[in-house]
Amino acid sequence: MRNLQVNGERLWASLMELAKIGATPKGGVCRLAASDLDGEARRLFIRWCEDAGCTVRVDQIGNIFARREGRDPSLPPVVTGSHLDTQPTGGKFDGAYGVMAGLEVMRTLNDLGYETEAPIEIVAWTNEEGSRFSPAMVGSGVFAGVFDLAEGLARPDNITGVTLGAELERIGFAGPEPVGGGPVAAYFEAHIEQGPILEAAGVPIGVVTGAQGQRWYEITVTGQEAHAGPTPMPRRRDALVGAARMIDMVNRIGHAHAPYACATVGFVQVSPNSRNTIPGRVFFTVDFRHPEDTALTEMDRELREVCERTASAIALDAEVKEFWYFPPTPFHADLVAAVRQAAEAQGYSHQDIISGAGHDAVYMARVAPSAMIFVPCVGGISHNEIEAAKPEHLTAGCNVLLNAVLERANAE
């Protein structure tokens, strides 16, 4: 059997049902990692997988695997999935699409009574977003041996400090299974593009050849708290003024490395955050991305130089801590080819694309052949409650996923 097709209406219905968990008034989803709502979404996903005849297991970092047995259970599985957690102003598709697409693949194979040679597993990774607990991709990172388990479980909530491990325990998803270790034949992840390229080109399928690299920083600027009234301007050591100048320079560094660089400050804490006290301490994060590692290295140099110069000009102290790094990551040529071939066989136009976002596939690429399938999203908008995708594009991506998975699961 070749060129099989999924049930696009069922895929859409599952996405809409899942999006009710954490639904926001503006039509988005707020389902932070290891929150009660994340637990609810996980339980719904497990119920659907069990209804589809899968065997479910949860590992010690909370990653969920749902397995459909193959003719030869001793073969390494073909794995597909993504994540169920969202940003605070998240949408219905970032992450959820990859998990529901995996489920739709299972349901379609059940409808057809199709037996694969190798087992197939759907995975829902823990804390992909890196919003509540940083960095991103923690579940897949522990799976791939990038972080050790203790380090992953100890990640603190960025506001309250409660750990990821404690929260997984609380929502019932600190599983018993050891994390990773076993061989994976192939890993595929379907995802919305989260940028404007495919929509602008009018192309339904992005054949993702790799992901750009990232460098994340935590910067602490220290000055001195003082009274907003009696303290003359020349005597002030205002940490927020220093941070504001640095934040502007972060943006300029992004523009200076156009067209591919991205530079973002998305998290700022001002202390004591009192309107008539000069701020004594500011903590903020920097997110740098670029498809070339040499450019990221140059951006790193510029950031450190700018922070030091800005701080010393107004007698502040600036600590620049590199918090997270991964280099630009190419995906596996054979799997990329399998995605391209599946798109062609289905008659979908396609183009090669590099992922601007981080994905669990980036860490999976370190331990297994990995690749991704992108579909357009409306206006290129993501990490926003208005994030949207067209049902026909989601169906197309899932058809490509199904056939790419089958190609690998039946490979010699």
Q: Which residues bind ligand GLV (CB under 6 A)?
A: 129, 136, 357-358
Provide the token pair at 395: 């169906």
Least distance from ligand GLV to the Cβ atom of residue 382, Å: 8
Least distance from Mn ion to the Cβ atom of residue 359, Å: 6
| 346 vs 374 by CB, closer to Mn ion | 374
Say how far residue 3 (Cα) sits from the centre of its chain: 29
Say how far residue 202 (Cα) sits from the centre of its chain: 25
| 121 vs 129 by CB, closer to ligand GLV | 129
Which of ligand GLV, Mn ion, none has residue 302 at its interface (CB below 5 to 8 Å by kind)? none
CA distance 354 to 356: 6
| 108 vs 134 by CB, closer to ligand GLV | 134
| 37 vs 406 by CB, closer to ligand GLV | 37
Least distance from ligand GLV to the Cβ atom of residue 73, Å: 34
Which residues are near Mn ion by CB under 5 A? 94-95
| 32 vs 239 by CB, closer to Mn ion | 32
CA distance 382 to 388: 8
Burial of 232 (0-12, 13-18, 19+ CB in 10 A): exposed
Which of ligand GLV, Mn ion, none has residue 95 at its interface (CB below 5 to 8 Å by kind)? Mn ion
How does DSSP classify residue 53? T
| 138 vs 246 by CB, closer to ligand GLV | 138
| 119 vs 139 by CB, closer to ligand GLV | 139
Least distance from ligand GLV to the Cβ atom of residue 217, Å: 14
CA distance 20 to 39: 13
CA distance 319 to 186: 41
CA distance 74 to 370: 20
Asked if 31 and 90 count as a contact pair (C-beta separation under 8 A), the reply is yes
CA distance 316 to 280: 9
Only one residue has tokens 């047995």, namely: 69
Provide the token pair at 57: 């297991």
> Residues 260, 283, 154, CA angle at the centre, nearest 5°?
90
CA distance 158 to 163: 9
Least distance from ligand GLV to the Cβ atom of residue 391, Å: 23
Q: Which residue is nearest to ligand GLV (CB)?
A: 357
Least distance from ligand GLV to the Cβ atom of residue 95, Å: 8
CA distance 327 to 387: 28
How does DSSP classify residue 95? T
| 387 vs 407 by CB, closer to Mn ion | 387
Least distance from Mn ion to the Cβ atom of residue 287, Å: 12
Least distance from Mn ion to the Cβ atom of residue 125, Å: 9
Residue 283: C-alpha distances to residues 129, 157, 247, 251, 319 (Å): 20, 15, 11, 17, 10
Which of Mn ion, ligand GLV, none has residue 358 at its interface (CB below 5 to 8 Å by kind)? ligand GLV
